[in-house]
Structure 1
Amino acid sequence: MNSIVQSDPGTPEDNGEEDLAPDPWVLDEGAMRNGIHVMTGLLLAVAVGGSFSMEFNTAALNLLLCTIFAVFYFVGFESVSHWSDFRRQVWVFVLTGVWILELIVAPVGIYLIFAVYFVLLRAMPDIRGVVSVVFVTLIAIVMQMPSGLTLGGAMGPAVSAAVTLAMYYAVLMLTRLNREREEAVRELIATRNELAASQHAQGASAERQRLAHEIHDTVAQGLSSIQMLLHVAEADLRDGNPDKAIERMDTARTTASESLAEARAMIAALQPAALAETSLTGALERMVEPFAQAGDLDISVDVDGEGHQLPMKTEATLLRIAQGAVGNVAKHSGATRCRVTVTYAPGEVRLDVVDNGRGFDPEEVEAQPAGLGHVGLEAMRSRAAEQGGELIIESQPGGPTAVTVALPVYGDDL
């Protein structure tokens, strides 16, 4: 048997029939339907058993009526959900008529009124079913009057009707609650799926942004340094300084090799290649060298405080921010000197990049549409925020410029 929570196969969308109230006749494991069928079978057996005390012709008619009732009841009860309203009415009319004839032939047939009640409510799960139950109850009472109506004879059908209606509408309410619960579960699952999709999209967007910053601070900065070095080397050759040009091309070659290592490390999701081979200070010194040569800059790297090993992610963040800041100094500032300072303090590490260049208006630059114009500043701020730190840019037209980032360092990280 079917379950009470499954969809009714007779919905209007499926067969073009009129909309009906929720069908309560599909209980878990078919408990209600099976119970009604068993009860009807027992009542039919009682009615058939009454044939043994009847004359042959009457007994034959009683058996015929019980057989017709059984066929129409069991076939119709399983198929009524697929029928049109007219066919349902015909089914109800035939079964009720057969029951009335059975009641005339064998008074014991009055017990089949229970099956008739459920047939009426099965075919008409609305106010028509309730009215029909009351009408059939009145018929059962009136049919007893010629032989003498007793209080029990009147109360039996009336109480049976009340119990049947109460049970039916209790099950109907439970069915509706089950369907509402199923709908809520479906909505919850849909919402969860939408949330997962949204989180996936946000994660993908964040990853794209992270990769954009990573590429800007590694490959793009390296290519920019190589371009500047080769440009200066070309000028040296034209000025008759081949040794100086060769030195700059050697630096460009070294920068290209380091950029390639950075790209491979990034692809492999490893730490910055420079940090894998040396300390933060050593990585900073190697990082500033090509920028110093390309821009004819005097760049120094200093350490303030007692230097110590930091978490790899913290050191990588400081290196990337320093790389972006120094790259901006070499490309845009027109400076002659730049100082990179790492300050170790209790619970904090700070990076300062200061130059004596022409300066700029930070608010004006950051107000520009996001893109290549200031992706470096955006990347630096994003990196600092990811580590719980803050990046501060102090500059004005005419210079100088100072970029400062402070990252927290907790005791467990030391």
Structure 2
Amino acid sequence: MNSAAPALTPTTRALAWCLHLLIIGLLALTAGRAVTDDRPHAGWITAASAVCGLVYAVGPTLPCVRRSRRAAALWLAAVSACWLVLLALSSDAVWVAFPLYFLQLHLLSRRLGPAAVAATAAAAIAGFAAHQHSFSPAMAIGPALGAAVAVAVVWGYQALYRESEHRRQLIEELTATRADLAAAQHTAGVLAERDRLAREIHDTLAQGLSSIQLLLRAAERALPQAPQNAARYVDQARQAAVDNLAEARRFVAALTPPTLEGTTLADALERLCTTTSARHRLTARFHPTGTPTPLATAHEVALLRIAQSALANTVRHAEATTAEVTLSYLDDRVALDVVDDGRGFDPALLPAPDPETGGFGLAAMRARAHALGGTLTIESAPGRGTALAAQLPLIQTTETEPEARP
């Protein structure tokens, strides 16, 4: 009915119509009994009932009554005044007090509503007693009990409405939170997938292209004096391109790396060392230790990629002559160590990764190890070579597990 009132729902709208019909029906009953019983002042009673009904019917149609608590209170005062006039003319008007209770509790504040109900109940009792020319406690029971029931019903409804609104707000907050969480998870998934793709591109395509570049440079230098060596370098570059193309295709199809298909991690690492030794001026040797244990595909791919990236860094930057790759199966973990006799570097002075100059290798290796609950450490110093150690928790499995594959 006003700005302070709860928004109408189908249920509350139906209750409002029931209240309208009840008031109009009681007014019609009062006028009808006055006419049929040929009571004194029947004409006045009928006119008062009509005026009261008209004033009541006009209120809900006025926008100011629906929007302003003050206008609604004035309209309610006009209806109450008409009812008091009708009560003074007919004792039957006492029944109209019951729907008035609900109207007052609905339109007035929580403090004024019960006071208006009490005043209406007192007026109903006094008016009925005046028409009966006597008073007894039984006359007060009906209006008082009706007032108590109205207060209990309205307050109970308001409590239920507040609880319902609270639950609705909680549901909206929960829905919004779930939407935010879903968006955050999506963003995190996108970022994780982007990081995975960056690592795979760096460890496969970028390293392969770098190897091809080094081989072609070697062929270019050897071409004037030793064409046969240049042809060998070109052939090795061609084979590297073939291998890189196979990696790219498996990368697109999200399959296991070709070097791990139908073989073990140890065999793949040994072939990696052999290929690196054949293509570059570096002697790479592989050493397995411990009792081999089946690893999850995620662990095998991570260790292979770390070894590939470490050897690629050795070829490009270390100026080393030998590199030792060791795969160790320990009690509760598997370890990969790559040690070279190159020029070394100061790990604290590494430049930040740059799209032009690179520098993503160590970060990618460390991210791979951390993603599987492992660690990656680097020990190096200028002129003393480099030792890289990756350790992953040993999870024995014979099944292929989902992971961030190429």
Tell me the TM-score normalised to structure 2 length. Answer: 0.85
Match of 2:146 among 136, 142, 160: 160
CA distance in 1, matches of 2:392, 2:334: 5
Deviates more, 1:77-86 or 1:190-199: 77-86
Following superposition, the deviation at residue 76 of structure 1 comes to 4.2
Following superposition, the deviation at residue 221 of structure 1 comes to 0.5
Partner of 1:135: 119
Match of 1:47 among 30, 36, 61: 30
CA distance in 1, matches of 2:46, 2:246: 96
CA distance in 1, matches of 2:153, 2:95: 18
- Alpha-carbon RMSD: 3.0
Deviates more, 1:218-227 or 1:48-57: 48-57
Give CA deviations for 1:220-257 in whole Å, capped at 9, x if unaligned: 1111111111111100013x111111111111111112
CA distance in 2, matches of 1:78, 1:179: 27
Distance 1:274 1:411, change over 3 A: closer
Partner of 1:88: 72
Where do 1:223-302 residues align within 5 Å?
223-238=209-224, 240-276=225-261, 278-288=263-273, 291-302=276-287
Q: Which amino acid aligns with 2:314?
A: V
CA distance in 2, matches of 1:63, 1:369: 95
CA distance in 2, matches of 1:184, 1:28: 22
Distance 1:98 1:312, change over 3 A: same
Partner of 2:181: 195
Distance 1:78 1:173, change over 3 A: farther
SS at match of 1:145: helix
- Establish whether residue 375 from structure 1 lines up as the match of residue 366 from structure 2: no
Which sections of structure 2, spanning at least 5 residues, go unmatched?
400-406
CA distance in 2, matches of 1:204, 1:25: 44
Following superposition, the deviation at residue 28 of structure 1 comes to 4.7
Where do 1:16-31 residues align within 5 Å?
20=4, 22-23=5-6, 28=11
% identical equivalent positions: 36
Partner of 2:94: 110
- Establish whether residue 389 from structure 1 lines up as the match of residue 383 from structure 2: no
Q: Is the 8 A contact 2:66 2:72 kept in 1?
A: no
SS at match of 2:344: coil
CA distance in 2, matches of 1:204, 1:281: 33
Distance 1:157 1:306, change over 3 A: closer
Partner of 1:148: 134
Which sections of structure 1, spanning at least 5 residues, go unmatched?
1-7, 12-19
CA distance in 2, matches of 1:391, 1:168: 69
CA distance in 2, matches of 1:339, 1:165: 89
Following superposition, the deviation at residue 66 of structure 1 comes to 3.8
SS at match of 1:260: helix
Q: Which amino acid aligns with 1:50?
A: R
- Establish whether residue 207 from structure 1 lines up as the match of residue 190 from structure 2: no
CA distance in 2, matches of 1:410, 1:171: 60
Partner of 1:17: none
Deviates more, 1:104-113 or 1:47-56: 47-56
Deviates more, 1:125-134 or 1:113-122: 125-134
- Establish whether residue 221 from structure 1 lines up as the match of residue 204 from structure 2: no
Q: Which amino acid aligns with 2:103?
A: V
Tell me the TM-score normalised to structure 1 length. Answer: 0.83
Give CA deviations for 1:75-105 in whole Å, capped at 9, x if unaligned: 6458777343454234213321332232233
CA distance in 2, matches of 1:356, 1:310: 30
Count of matched residue pairs: 394
Partner of 1:335: 320
- Establish whether residue 99 from structure 1 lines up as the match of residue 90 from structure 2: no
Give CA deviations for 1:98-130 in whole Å, capped at 9, x if unaligned: 322322332111011011122222322443333
Q: Is the 8 A contact 1:232 1:294 kept in 2?
A: no
Deviates more, 1:382-391 or 1:129-138: 129-138
Following superposition, the deviation at residue 375 of structure 1 comes to 1.8
- Establish whether residue 404 from structure 1 lines up as the match of residue 389 from structure 2: yes
